Amino acid sequence: MTVHRISSALGVTVHAARLEYDGQPLFAELDFEMEPGSWTCLLGPSGVGKTSLLRLIAGLTRPWEGSLTTCSDGAPVNGRAAYMAQQDLLLPWLTVRRNVGLGRHLRRESNKLGADDDAMALLEKVGLIDKADALPHTLSGGQRQRAALARTLAEDRPIVLMDEPFSALDAFTRHRIQALAAELLVGRSVLLVTHDPLEALRLGHKVHVMAGRPARVDDPLTLPGQPPRDVTDTELLKLHAALLERLAAAGEA
């Protein structure tokens, strides 16, 4: 069976976002935008509020009154975004196939015609078809994260929110899974929070740096071409230097 593809891309706009943590403002009157069908990458110092902004967009954090987060069609984001965290969060007692279909099971959709076929098709796409009936503890770190990517795709949402999903992997595995994610998430609107400038430059269409307290998001660094990019490309390395300067100014270096 062919894996479902979204019919249209959705952008996301955050307007006048205000959020406190432990009585201190993380950000106030913050504006941020994700363009439809593209990757937006967000970097910045630890604790600046990157994950909090991602969670606000996902509807997992309640903002102050006056904040507004909407899709480009004017409707809320709620129910239209899939979330992929740094940890794979696979349930150890479920097989890989069942983990991929967990969202459908929780929504009581797992008995719908084709649900298991879709899970298997996704596992084939991420190269885990032979691990469908294995338990998570038998998988390598890269395999577990590929299973988590398949589970994210199984949600079939136009918006994908990713919080450092590749940071725990070794360099070689991370490079491979970045390329796989770029291929499988074409046409979706992706927000990737990362601490890795080269990862942002390889995968992003636009890259922002978040800094300050209350935090602000700078003007985007717009990248040429389509991801995944060659990290040895001379022009990309020049952009890497420019991005490092932004991060140094933000207190990252």
Instruction: Check if the beta carbon of residue 30 is closer than 8 Å to that of residue 46.
Output: no
What's the pLDDT band for 218 if we cut at 50, 70, 90?
A: very high
- Tell me the chain's radius of gyration from C-alpha atoms: 18
Instruction: Check if the beta carbon of residue 132 is closer than 8 Å to that of residue 123.
Output: yes
Determine how β-strand 189-193 pairs with β-strand 81-84: unpaired
Query: 77 — phi, psi (to 5°)?
Result: -75, -30
Residues 106-123, mean pLDDT to the nearest whole number: 72
Does the structure show a pLDDT above 50 at 76? Answer: yes
User: Would you state the pLDDT for residue 2?
Assistant: 41
Averaged pLDDT of the chain: 88
Distance between start and end Cα atoms, the chain: 47
Among residues 144, 146, 150, 139, the alpha carbon closest in space to that of 178 is found at: 146
| Higher pLDDT, residue 37 or 102 | 37
Per-residue pLDDT reduced to its tens digit, 64-73: 666 788 888 8
Instruction: Check if the beta carbon of residue 160 is closer than 8 Å to that of residue 185.
Output: yes
Residues 89-115, mean pLDDT to the nearest whole number: 80
Does the structure show a pLDDT above 50 at 114? Answer: no
Residues 2-31, mean pLDDT to the nearest whole number: 78
User: Would you state the pLDDT for residue 1?
Assistant: 35
Does the structure show a pLDDT above 50 at 194? Answer: yes
Among residues 26, 39, 78, the alpha carbon closest in space to that of 210 is found at: 26
Q: Write out the chain in H/E/C secondary structure.
A: CCCCCCCCCCCEEEEEEEEEECCEEEEEEEEEEECCCCEEEEECCCCCCHHHHHHHHHCCCCCCCCCEEEECCCCCCCCCEEEECCCCCCCCCCCHHHHHCHHHHHCCCCCCCCHHHHHHHHHHHCCCHHHCCCCHHHCCHHHHHHHHHHHHHHCCCCEEEEECCCCCCCHHHHHHHHHHHHHHCCCCEEEEECCCHHHHHHHCCEEEEEEECCEEECCCEECCCCCCCCCCCHHHHHHHHHHHHHHHHCCCC
Domains of the chain, start order: 1-80+158-253 (3.40.50.300), 92-156 (no CATH)
Token digits for 76?
A: 């809320």
User: Would you state the pLDDT for residue 112?
Assistant: 54
